[in-house]
Amino acid sequence: MTVASPTTGPAGAPVEEARRRRTFAVISHPDAGKSTLTEALALHAEVISAAGAVHGKGGRKGVTSDWMDMERERGISVTSAVLQFAYRDHVINLLDTPGHGDFSEDTYRVLAAVDAAVMLLDAARGLEPQTLKLFDVCRARGVPVLTFVNKWDRPGREPLELVDEVEQRIGLRPMPITWPVGIAGDFHGLVERADGTMRRFTRAAHGASRAAEEILDADRAAAEEGVDWERATEELELLGEIGADFDPVDFHAGTATPVMFGAALSNIGVARLLDALVELAPPPAPRPSAAGAERPIDAPFSGLVFKVQASMDKSHRDRVAFVRVCSGRFERGMVLTHDATGRPFATKYAQAMFGRDRSTIDEAFPGDIVGLVNANALRPGDTLWAEKPVTFPTIPSFAPEHFSVARVADASKTKQFRKGIEQLDSEGVIQVLSSDLRGDQAPVLAAVGPLQFEVVAARLADEFSAPIKLERLDYTLARRTDAAGVEALKGAIGIEVLTRRADGELLALFPHKWRLQAVAQNQPNLLLEPLIAEG
Ligand code: GDP
């Protein structure tokens, strides 16, 4: 296997290069097999862009992005890695998403940078709470979803029951692309729905290599697979009758989902998933600007910052902004404009990111992800452009549900504490709220999930030498309000209005929904607007 970037070939036109790109993320409940699937996908990759990061050599360490000690201890992935590889003349960009629900805001930002998502289900468990939550985010963002039913090599549920669950619980019409022959746990292969052939597998040991497979035509499959074949084809007929045929319009509109079956651990069905991504999933499309006009793919460069991350490498302590290329060609060294400030941004140190590993990237096209180092001014949701201005809609912040006051534990570290809070706020690790009353010595941290507080505390201690004390507040929900709201709620018991530093929004905090309801009833003209993604 040669190691070279698939994007460093002869310079292509952005439209042509965009057509070859598929940029997606996998959403799943923890343990459904996301890491295993990522490895299995990489087994089929022809080339991986990050130098030396050819998958399969270093085991799964190369894929996971557990750069913080806390992540390792807890076995969760807080940060996002990007994996780029070539497959069938296409360039696949796979963006990692955190597995834990407490970091769903981070996932939301990643989903702002993809063109499709793979919803990974455990065959025995079907839709799990975190899958549902993440699916809601896909729906909110209009991201088309492919479904991959994993772990078919062990006992699980009936395939019809699983597709029915998808339809009933999340209202996505299932459109099976493949169908299993043999029940979960005693699985022989997959029927290709489009042409009725069967792909039969001989399981490979521990996914170390691809499962051996052979293609059988329908007659041979019927003769050799007997009742299992009969059952699979009967079920498919049944699905055909209820209108489960593939329809690209419904898939791209997010109302229907192609469904595939497999076992990532044995690398079964994984190449089929890649084929489906290449053949069915949408390539990068012109992105609408905040003003509503679309930025054409072949317009001058534009990109969306969807994640900012610091100190992936303890010896560097720098800050990387992940930028999704939306239009044009990115060339390292170009000077871009940071739309939010109007300031120039030099891209001398553009990098391709692969977990902890980095390599210099020279050019990139729509759908690709570029890591920009020393990106101190950039925040998630920011736009960068060249030549012709554009502003993409920013990525909205989630509704926080947990609130704590942060104070520095050692008063001599006040300066570091302030700097640290400012940095973590601008990375989007947590929301920081303040008011004149509280002052900036004791900001209120607002989180979607409580693990975010632990990340903040660990990073402040570790990177800024400023250990903190946290005091939980009793609020559980926030509503957007305005200056009139601030006046009206002054002195209201158990309610506080704070300013969110990142976007200047005024958030009214309530201890519970009954208090909110009472206020809304008594003062019907008060602006108390729900924030997005309220759990
Ligand atoms: P993640 O938490 O979603 O990243 O899940 P992992 O990839 O870590 O997988 C969780 C567990 O399921 C691990 O023990 C895997 O070996 C196992 N696993 C993943 N895919 C399969 C599969 O296709 N078949 C079986 N039997 N086990 C699997």
The string of pLDDT tens digits covering residues 78-137 is: 344 678 888 888 999 999 887 677 787 888 899 999 999 999 999 999 999 888 888 988
Best mutation site among 26, 36, 97 for ligand 1 pocket (most ligand atoms within 8 Å of CB):
36
Q: Which residues pair with 12 in a beta bridge?
A: none
d(CA 97, CA 456): 19
Quote the DSSP letter at residue 269: S
In terms of Cα–Cα distance, which of 482, 308, 477 is closest to 395?
308
The pLDDT value recorded for residue 211 is 64
Q: Please give the structure tokens belonging to residue 182.
A: 């043999």
Q: Is 96 annotated as a binding residue?
A: yes
d(CA 353, CA 369): 8
The pair phi, psi for residue 105, each rounded to 5°, is -65, -35
Residues near 364 by beta carbon (within 8 Å), at least 6 away in sequence: 7, 325, 329, 330, 350, 370
d(CA 260, CA 273): 7
CB 115 within 8 A of CB 282: yes
Q: Please give the structure tokens belonging to residue 439.
A: 């002052």
d(CA 456, CA 423): 10
User: For each of the chain's 535 residues, which pLDDT tens digit applies?
Assistant: 333 344 444 447 999 999 999 999 999 998 899 988 988 887 777 644 332 333 333 333 333 333 344 444 444 343 446 788 888 889 999 998 876 777 878 888 999 999 999 999 999 999 998 888 889 888 988 899 999 999 998 888 999 999 999 999 999 999 999 999 988 778 889 999 999 999 998 765 554 455 678 999 999 999 999 999 999 999 999 988 887 889 999 999 999 999 999 999 988 899 999 999 999 999 999 999 999 999 999 999 999 999 888 755 556 667 888 999 999 999 988 999 999 999 999 888 777 665 555 667 788 999 999 988 878 889 999 999 999 999 999 888 888 999 999 999 999 999 999 999 998 998 889 999 999 888 888 999 999 989 999 999 999 998 899 999 999 999 999 999 999 999 999 989 999 999 999 889 999 999 999 999 999 999 999 999 988 754 4
d(CA 233, CA 246): 17
Kindly compute the dihedral angle of the four CA atoms of residues 488, 534, 101, 459, in this order, to the nearest 10 degrees. Answer: -20
DSSP letters, 483-516, are HHHHHHHTT-TT-EEEEETTT--EEEEESSHHHH
Is the beta carbon of 263 within 6 A of some atom in ligand 1?
Answer: yes
Q: Measure 157 CA to ligand 1 centroid, in angstroms.
A: 17
The pairing of beta strand 82-87 with beta strand 90-95? antiparallel
End-to-end CA separation in angstroms for the chain: 46
Is the beta carbon of 318 within 6 A of some atom in ligand 1?
Answer: no
* pLDDT tens-digit series, residues 448-480: 989 999 999 999 998 899 999 999 999 999 999
**Ligand 1: which atom is nearest the Cα of residue 32?**
3
Q: Measure 33 CA to ligand 1 centroid, in angstroms.
A: 4
d(CA 298, CA 386): 12
Is the beta carbon of 150 within 6 A of some atom in ligand 1?
Answer: yes
Q: How many helices (H) and strands (E) does the chain have?
A: 13, 32
The pLDDT value recorded for residue 349 is 74
